[in-house]
Every structure is written in structure tokens, then in C-alpha cells.
Amino acid sequence: MNTDIKFGTDGWRATPETGLNEENIRICAQSFAKYIIDHHEGDKEVLVGYDTRKNSYDFANLSASVISANKIKVKITDAPTPTPLCSYHVKNSSMHGAVIITASHNSKEWNGFKIRSSKGLSFNDKEIYEIEKNIEYYTENKSKIKISDSEIKTINVKNTYIDSIKKNIDIEIIKNSNMNIVVDYMHGAVSGILEEILDNKENCYLRHEYDSNFPNMEQPEPVEKNLSKLIEKVTKKKYSLGLAFDGDGDRLGV
């Protein structure tokens, strides 16, 4: 059984059998906090988000508690929030990075620790190497990991993102185009957002409830084998367009 924490450009993913547990989440959070401290001067602030998976909310709060204990200001999203919205918020604020608890399009057994830079981007290989060195250190020195029991403030990043979409895109043109759209949320973090943007009662929204089991699909990935209802709606019910989002909203199927 391999329980080592190995980061890619977006962070770390695992199952309970391969090391997904509170101890390793604490190690990841402390290692990320150390990186933020080493690379940013003055007051520091980090966003923590999460998706609809089992334990995502708990792992997000645990991560926030560790990061906060390192004298870094932390805000946690007030609901499951897509990764692109977290990235957008960090990029357009004074925050120094983000952690998103998600396994993206992986199956329900998986979860992960995704990270974003102060520009809302993935980290490069050099930066990941440094974070992995921190992970090696805290894996061997778990007593050095800090944790706080202070209350973490929540933040709604969705409304600002929606306002930006409406400011930069002429939504009225879409509304007046007579297009009817089918959206498959795949029970993920994007659920409910398109309704707020498009505000069209003729549109159809599939699998819009949060569900960590992602029923009737192998994984929340917008590929053909998982989109039979969406395809049927578009081809047989004469909808103009079908859209599908993966678990954390950074993959789009059309």
C-alpha cells in the first residue's frame, strides 16, 4: 500500500487506501502554509474551498485550522465552490493562494488537496518541489504541525464571480436568442450557478443536487458514457445546447 504524499502541478489526490486521512491533510496544509510564509512578506491570507465529496467540508475546515495556526488569515467558502471561482477570487484579491479540497473528476472514493498560487494558477515544478520538501519534513516531524481552534471566517466568492460574468458578457443576448440549454451538473460544485446567470425557465438542469456518491456514473467526468440523459435531451427534445461540468467545475463538456 502506497501512502506517500506525491504532489502534481495541482496538488495531491488519494483514496483512504492510499493515504487519504486527516493526518495527511494536516501535513499538506502545514507544508502549504510554510511555503506561503517563505514566499510572502507582511500579512498573509489564504482561501480554502471545497467540493461536494464526502469529507470535503471537514478536510477544508481542518486545512483552514492548520493554516490559521501559522498566523495566516484564512477564509473558507460558505458552500461547495468550483475551483475556477476560487482561482478567480484569489487572482482578483490580495490573497496569497488557495487550497481546494477536491478530487476533480475522479470517482467518489477519491479526494484531494488542490492548490493555487497568488495568481490563481497551478504551481510550477520548482514550486511543487519545494512544497514536497516541506511535506517530507513534516511527515518526519509531525509534532511541528500547528493547529488552531479559533473560528474561521466564511466567504461567498460566487456572487462576485457571477457579477463579473454579467458585467463582461451580454447575458440579455443569450436570453433573447430563443436558445434552450440543458445543463448537467453531475452533482458537483457548479450546481445552481447557471440558473443564477441565465435566469431562463425554459432551460433544463440535470443532477443539480449535491451528492457525494455521484450515482449512476463511474465518476463525475463530462464524457459521453456519463452523459446519456444530456445527450437524449439535446437530440430528442430539441434543446439548442448541452453543457456538463465535472465535480469541481474545471472541466466542461459541450
pLDDT value at 2 more than 70: no
Enter the DSSP assignment of 43. Answer: S
- Cα separation of the two ends of the chain: 38
Measured CA to CA, the distance from residue 249 to residue 148 in angstroms comes to 30
CA distance 247 to 105: 5
Residue 1 pLDDT exceeds 80: no
Q: What is the pLDDT of residues 211-252, one digit of tens each?
A: 999 999 999 999 999 999 999 999 988 899 999 999 999 999
pLDDT digits (tens, 9 = 90+) for 139-152: 999 999 999 999 99
Is the model's pLDDT at 175 over the cut of 90?
A: no
Helix (H) / strand (E) element for 135: namely helix 125-140
CATH architecture of structural domain 169-253:
3-Layer(aba) Sandwich (3.40)
pLDDT of residue 119: 96
Segment 93-135, tens digit of pLDDT: 999 999 999 999 999 999 999 999 999 999 999 999 999 999 9
Q: What is the pTM of this model?
A: 0.95
- pLDDT score recorded for residue 91: 97
Rounded Cα distance between 176 and 57, Å, is 39
- What is the structure's pLDDT at 3? 61
pLDDT digits (tens, 9 = 90+) for 10-56: 899 999 999 999 999 999 999 999 999 999 999 999 999 999 999 99
Residues above pLDDT 90, as percent of the chain: 90
pLDDT digits (tens, 9 = 90+) for 53-78: 999 999 999 999 999 999 999 999 99
pLDDT one-digit tens code per residue, 186-217? 999 999 999 999 988 889 999 999 999 999 99
Domains 11-160 and 169-253 share a fold: yes
Up-side HSE of residue 68: CA atoms within 13 Å toward CB? Answer: 18
Fold of the 11-160 domain: Alpha-D-Glucose-1,6-Bisphosphate; Chain A, domain 3 (3.40.120)
Which band of pLDDT confidence, cut at 50, 70 and 90, is reported for residue 182? very high
Domain positions in the chain are 11-160, 169-253
Which residues does the annotation mark as catalytic?
104
